[in-house]
Amino acid sequence: MSMRLGMVFPGQGAQSVGMMDALDAEFTQVQARFSAASEVLGFDLWALVHAGPSEILNQTANTQPALLAASVATWDIWCALGGAQPALMAGHSFGEYSALVCAGALEFEAAVALVAARGQFMQEAVAPGVGGMAAVLGLDADALTAVCLEATRDAGLVECANLNAPGQVVLSGTVAGVARAGELAKAAGAKKIIPLAVSVPAHCALMTPAAVRYATRVSAVEFKAPRVPVIHNVDVQPHDLAADIRAALVAQLSHSVRWQETMAEFARQGLTHIGECGPGKVLGPLVKRGAPGVEAFTLGTPDDLRAALNILES
């Protein structure tokens, strides 16, 4: 069977202080992307990623440009090393922007400015301490949808935000709503509820004010047809027209990330390997669960890159 590659790009949660140090020690592409991003942002993004502090890096408005620069630099290195070109791309949540840049649909500098604004709008949509997110393990999405409806009636808005893999769903909403949904999910048989350390309740209706502001901001940005199809989170479809890409990005702010279906689509299209292009190792396990039989590998360190090149050449 011939090799057919997909490339996926991580979203928030993959960041850590020092996440690009090993690649930076070997490859000039890291500084090239980070200095371009710093120029757009007006502060030294590399200093923040290299030295922290992590509480500043973990603020949504900083996390998004940092992961964008990291993922795109990793893609640059992959291409420079002669890595195989993918047949499909996708990004988890905000990682969709990294995918669009690497697919040639969006200029890097424009993306940096866009995601900084996106992060800021998200941060400002909900006052600190009002919203929360939690991962629920061991309960399916249908059961959790019913749980969310009941918890919203009882305590406050909560929705299924990330449909990551069978038995792994992330909830998002008000702190009280998420807490109540956690109790109901436990009673319904969930194995584990893991509160997430996030500053913003993403991918739920609380982000509607951010989506309204963002729609105006994104309308001024130029998009081209991607060279590689990018499967979008909101509708599990690729889009070529700028208006459709913009609409998908706006809707993504307040709608679920349909990652399990995205991985199923990758498998359906005959992909044999999926590379995680960026820091961390968040998406690999989701590939294994959402697309069994497809081989996943990471590209976060020089050793990872060399191992991946060997896998694909063998």
How far apart are the two ends of the chain, measured CA to CA in Å? Answer: 13
Q: Is 310 exposed, middle or buried (0-12, 13-18, 19+ CB in 10 A)?
A: exposed
Q: How far is CA 221 from CA 57, 224, 302, 312, in A?
A: 26, 10, 34, 36
Catalytic residue numbers read 93, 203
Euclidean distance between CA atoms 220 and 314, whole angstroms:
45
Copy the structure tokens of residue 191.
Answer: 């194995």
The DSSP secondary structure of 68-104, one letter per residue, reads HHHHHHHHHHHHHTTPPPPSEEEESTTHHHHHHHHTT
Residue 236 CB neighbours (<10 A): 16
